[in-house]
Amino acid sequence: MTAAGQQSAVDVVGEAGRRRTFAVISHPDAGKSTLTEALALHARVISEAGAVHGKAGRRGVVSDWLAMEQARGISITSAALQFSYGDTVINMLDTPGHADFSEDTYRVLSAVDSAVMLLDAAKGLEPQTLKLFDVCRHRGIPVITFVNKWDRPGREALELCDELVERIGLQPMPLTWPVGEAGQFQGVRDCLDGTFVRYQRTAGGATAAAEERLTPDQAQAEIGADWARAAEEADLLAASGGEFDPARFIAANASPVLFGSAVLNFGVRHLLDVLVELAPRPVPRRDADGNSRALDAPFSAFVFKVQTGMDPSHRDQVAFARVCSGVFERGMVVTNATTGRPFATKYAHQVFGQQRSTLDTAYPGDVIGLVNATALRVGDTLYAGKPTVRYPGLPSFAPGFFSVARPAEVGRAKQFRKGIEQLGSEGVVQVLRSDRRGDAAPVLAAVGPMQFEVAVHRLDTEFGVPVNLESLPYTVARRLDDPVQRSIVDTGRRSEVLSRADGTDLALFTDQHALNVMLRLHPDLVVSSLVAGTD
């Protein structure tokens, strides 16, 4: 390798080492979007934080920008926020918490190196949190746990930590410990140096909370019994296997635990510092053949999300791609491994929620937004040079809800077809075709019914097409492995066969009993399970 080549390789590896790419996951209403904005506030990339939408006098969170998100106060689509914190480049992905949008969250988790698992102090591990953690476990993603809302009444800190061990087998390793029970939050004990960190409230939590650090003796003198209890509990947990060990965190079998309140910005800076110090840096990724691609190999990336409607005045389409190797330079022409066709990257953006700015260069770990990317689909691999590079595709979840979609106005058929194609390419819903209904009446398939609400809303607001939905009775979907057997299943009574855009034939059944009956009557029928999330 030439001296210039060696310098280039060092630059790529060094730049990758400055990146921290992580997702924030939680059950709905745990405060996830509020936390993502609080982290941005502490990094000083915004001057004033909002809070959960609907609170009087407060701004909406920057990561919840869709009209439906602002109206409901929940995240229904993932959002990327890139910013700098000191010398570190943060790529933070806010994910939907609602189970109906698990597929979007799964795609996001394929693009990150670690995750922050947010727990509500009063509720602990909730069903959707458990499912998302299982995805992290399956992918070997290290998890940092942040216990939120400690300013409100909740459960005992030790009880919440015990739950991590008992329900998901994750050893808690507290880095901070709350002083004062939930609802009477006075600050935290820094478990690494034993000092007391006291926070000062700001008006509405709109600005970063000031911090005051006291020695253990000062804390004992001022706080008394609450400080002594906090120290005793933290030491007890450390002595029972909870002493901090970075190797166990990276191995994803133990989790650093911090306590705080995102809405008040208490404990948020500590979390940000932990992410910078402890979260894993980008490492070589394995391609579809199982080979590791070096960080300093020529440019490669994979598309994990496609989104339209970010700029209502243009309705352009943005493909979000995770850079896996090499240097991305705006304007470079890369190859789409799926189609073999070239793709020009003239319009590349750095994304901060709905806000975008031109991006000239990116390195492994970065998330880039490729604008006017109508030729790209979720799961596509982009690469420069030769030979061909292809990363593993992103599977579609097994849908459990099905509805026939028809335009309410026949004269809007062209716009209807365009809108349906767009929603399918983004993965908002799966679009299925049936021979009996034809292309004019596609079947929309979803993991959860709220996906239908999003699809109908977007067709109406973005494409001007009011839509009527007709529910179908099917609840079980399987892959039909032999097309010759299509006529066996496609009876139209308790089962039907529909085709997905990727060529997969889906055998649909009204319920598990109908599937079992079909298999007894036709023991040679070959069907297989689809990816069903974390089940």
User: Angle 32-42/268-278 helices, nearest 10 degrees?
Assistant: 80
Residue 94 annotated as lining a ligand binding site: yes
Which two structure tokens, joined as six digits, stand for 197? Answer: 């960190």
Helix (H), strand (E) at residue 88: strand 88-94
State the Cα–Cα distance between residues 465 and 232, nearest whole angstrom: 62
Query: Is the sign of the CA dihedral 272, 278, 283, 285 positive or negative?
Result: negative
Residue 383 contacts residue 300 (beta carbons within 8 Å):
yes
Say how many CA atoms lie within 13 Å of 89 toward its Cβ: 21
Strand partners of residue 476:
509
DSSP state of 239: I
Residue 279 contacts residue 113 (beta carbons within 8 Å):
yes
Residues 6 or more apart whose Cβ sits within 8 Å of residue 124 = 155, 159, 160, 163
State the Cα–Cα distance between residues 191 and 8, nearest whole angstrom: 40
Residue 510 annotated as lining a ligand binding site: no
State the Cα–Cα distance between residues 109 and 104, nearest whole angstrom: 9
State the Cα–Cα distance between residues 60 and 66, nearest whole angstrom: 11
Residue 247, classed as helix, strand or coil, is helix
String of DSSP letters for 191-225: TTT--EEEEE--GGG-SPPEEEEE-HHHHHHHHTH
Strand partners of residue 118:
146
Residue 98 annotated as lining a ligand binding site: yes
Residue 492 annotated as lining a ligand binding site: no
Can you list the alpha helix ranges (DSSP code H) found in 295-388?
Answer: none
State the Cα–Cα distance between residues 396 and 308, nearest whole angstrom: 20
Residue 337 contacts residue 382 (beta carbons within 8 Å):
yes
String of DSSP letters for 356-401: EEE--EE-TT-EEEEET-TT--TT-EEE-SSS---PPP-PPB---E
Residue 105 annotated as lining a ligand binding site: no
State the Cα–Cα distance between residues 202 and 186, nearest whole angstrom: 14
> Which of 221, 253, 233 shows the shortest CA–CA distance to 174?
233
Residue 118 contacts residue 30 (beta carbons within 8 Å):
yes
For the chain, state the CA radius of gyration.
25
Pairing of strands 254-259, 171-174: parallel
> Which of 130, 243, 135, 120 shows the shortest CA–CA distance to 191?
243
Separation in Å, CA 121 to CA 124, 181, 204, 225, 462: 6, 10, 20, 21, 39
Residue ranges of the binding site for GTP: 94-98
Binding-site positions read 94-98
